[in-house]
A and B are shown apart, each in its own frame.
Chain A
């Protein structure tokens, strides 16, 4: 009987699609819809960056995978060195952002 291999952790089914969508939004296409909303905060001293992505699509995505999706998108859109500047990558639904006081 052949061995059946299973991944211990499965990616969310929308993972690749969400990365691709974020990559588009990290470009400079002004015709894209307003969501996802991407906020970048840069610390000029350490040159590190905090990225918050407000998006309804996060609803069913685990927190760890939200960070992975954001960082994958930055790596694809802006390269590895830029991705490595990010020390906080938080994906939040608009309601979560509001509850945390992050959505202005």
Chain B
């Protein structure tokens, strides 16, 4: 059964708390993985909410494929990495908003770009299987980026 946007909303909050717990427990690799997971859920949620979908909306592979095809026609060439790429979902949100005449305003757009970049540079979905050894600076940067995304998630789709 496909997950709904409501599942994404609940999961992202849970994973943010889990990530913070791992960070506090001196488990930086696990912390960064979950900060990234939280960001992925948040960006997908923002993308589909911006399209007007309700929280009950199911997200399956057909929906994700359509999103990739639609933003491709808007000029987004960012690899989606099996629909997991944070950069892809950031660029998809930016492209959809611009195409509908509702581009993000400064400084929100610049901060959005920078925080996703900071997290994407340290996170990869493959970290669930293997992770590099993160420094304390890495986990702090990932936490700061995830916190920004969490705090501004609603602004990305309203």
Contacts and interface: CB of A to CB of B under 8 A. Distances in A.
Decide whether A and B are members of one complex. Answer: yes
A21 to B, nearest CB: 18
B73 A87 contact: no
Interface in A1-56: 45-48
Given A84-B70, A84-B99, A46 B51 contact: yes
Q: How many A residues are at the interface, by size bracket?
A: 20 to 34
B1 to A, nearest CB: 14
A69 B100 CA distance: 22
B65 A87 contact: no
B85 interface: no
B144 to A, nearest CB: 32
A68 B48 contact: no
B69 A84 contact: no
Given A84-B99, A84-B100, A88-B62, A46 B52 contact: yes
B81 interface: no
B69 A90 contact: no
A75 B73 CA distance: 9
A47 B73 contact: no
- Interface class of chain A by DSSP: helix
B70 A83 contact: yes
B82 to A, nearest CB: 11
Contacts, number: 58
A94 B73 CA distance: 27
B68 A87 contact: no
B54 A45 contact: yes
Given A63-B65, A84-B100, A87-B63, A47 B70 contact: no
Contacts of A63: 61, 65
Interface string B59-83: 0011101111110110000000000
A68 B100 CA distance: 20
A72 B73 contact: yes
B68 A64 contact: yes
A71 B72 CA distance: 10
B70 A71 contact: yes
Given A71-B73, A75-B73, A46 B66 contact: no
Closest 9 CB pairs of A and B: A46-B52, A67-B69, A68-B69, A67-B65, A89-B66, A71-B69, A90-B62, A67-B66, A64-B65
5 contacts: A46-B51, A48-B52, A67-B62, A71-B70, A88-B63
